Structure 1
Amino acid sequence: MWTVPNLITLFRVVLIPVFVLVYFMDWKWAHEAGAFIFWLAAITDWFDGYLARKLDQNTPFGAFLDPVADKLIVAAALLMITHSYATLWITLPAIVLLVREIYISALREWMGSQGLRDEVKVSFIGKAKTTAQMLALIGLLSGLETFMGFPIYWVSLGYILLYIAAVLSLWSMVVYTSAAWKHLAGKA
């Protein structure tokens, strides 16, 4: 159970309260530091999966904890940006993303209980959604439009990527539901 990938995943879980605390600190670079911690957590998600495959250290504990860690930190980040921006234009796509995470988790759990989890495994659309979502959250959390006097437009890009992630979320919900529909409808 205490493999390197699992320890990295646990590190990601430990980063969640650190991320939230730092983001809401009352100092000038709090949002940027929080965005950096979120970025670090996102990188560890890729890294623990890579190491689990490379070192052949896949475990049931890791298979359980990895998606939980991902959903926890993304949910925290979505709640934080809805609070920080307090606008319908952030809240709507954030709700779509949260609803999708809960829906797909429940769908995968049910399909797994039926021995059919492979029919709703992660697809390219899901991976594209995750990439857009993570980049959007980093940009929106950072609040940066300039860096050292140079325009970088992180927040503007974050808005765009958040909407792309929301659209991909809806699309992936349709794809996953279609793949599972015959089983959900009791026709399989």
Structure 2
Amino acid sequence: MASGRSFKDIVLHPNTLTLFRVVTIPGIVILLLPQEPGKLFCFIAAVLFSLAAISDGLDGYYARSLGLVSNFGKFMDPLADKLLVMSTLTMLTWHQWIPGWIACVIVGRELAVTGLRGIAAEQGKVIAAEKLGKYKMGFQIGAIIPLLLHHKYYFTESFFLDFGQVGYWVLWIALVFTIWSGAEYFRNYSKVIRS
């Protein structure tokens, strides 16, 4: 290439990985548009979401280790995460695979924290992400993937795994961490602004 950058450098660039996450969103939404999406569509949607989640971990790693931190990345990385989770939760709610109020709590927390970050940034303050936020994201991903798979998968005639039920119970854990980390974020915001 004329720029001297290899295909691998471009594909593994943090901003490319962030944009990949955004591009997967319409794919997941389209796959879940049918009134009763079959196993194949659900499986592909879960794979897309999983790849997007993996790219979230990779873009931060490459940005830090290769010194490729940028203003675009700082803005788009958390936005891409929130768009991915919120759009997927919207589709899960539309199919009534999860209660709407849980999706509202999760989405509301994400929007509130994003707003507080913006206010703090305008005042020249930075509120660091807490470990609770990472656990929250981990459990959200851990819930959404089996929720997307949704169907029962039979291994023998009598032994099966109901992915929808697995995801539903993990979602309750994600909800606890969502509320907990949100409250912790508000507390840290108050301390930073007062200081």
TM-score by length of 2: 0.85
Q: Among 135, 140, 149, which residue is 1:142 paired with?
A: 149
**Conserved in 2, the CA contact under 8 Å of 1:23 and 1:33?**
no
Displacement of 1:29 after TM fit?
1.2
Displacement of 1:9 after TM fit?
0.9
Q: Deviations over 1:96-135 (max 9, x none)?
A: 1000000000011111111211xx3211111001000011
Q: Does residue 101 of structure 2 align to residue 92 of structure 1?
A: yes
Cα distance in 2 for partners of 1:157, 1:15 equals 24
Could you tell me which runs of 5 or more consecutive residues in structure 1 were left unpaired when the two chains were aligned. Answer: none
Report the aligned-residue RMSD.
Answer: 2.1
Paired letter, 2:23:
V
SS of residue paired to 1:85: coil
Q: Among 66, 70, 90, which residue is 1:79 paired with?
A: 90
Aligned residues: 182
Q: Does residue 8 of structure 2 align to residue 8 of structure 1?
A: no
SS of residue paired to 2:99: helix
Paired letter, 1:143:
H
Q: Does residue 123 of structure 2 align to residue 114 of structure 1?
A: yes
Cα distance in 2 for partners of 1:132, 1:93 equals 14
Cα distance in 2 for partners of 1:69, 1:176 equals 20
Paired letter, 2:93:
T
Percent of aligned pairs with the same amino acid: 36
Paired letter, 1:44:
S
Q: Does residue 138 of structure 2 align to residue 126 of structure 1?
A: no
Could you tell me which runs of 5 or more consecutive residues in structure 2 were left unpaired when the two chains were aligned. Answer: 1-10
Larger radius of gyration: 2
Paired letter, 2:143:
A
Change (3 A) 1:28 1:177: closer
Shifted more, 96-105 versus 169-178: the winner is: 169-178
**Conserved in 1, the CA contact under 8 Å of 2:31 and 2:45?**
yes
Cα distance in 1 for partners of 2:14, 2:160 equals 37
**Conserved in 2, the CA contact under 8 Å of 1:140 and 1:159?**
yes
Q: Does residue 71 of structure 2 align to residue 64 of structure 1?
A: no
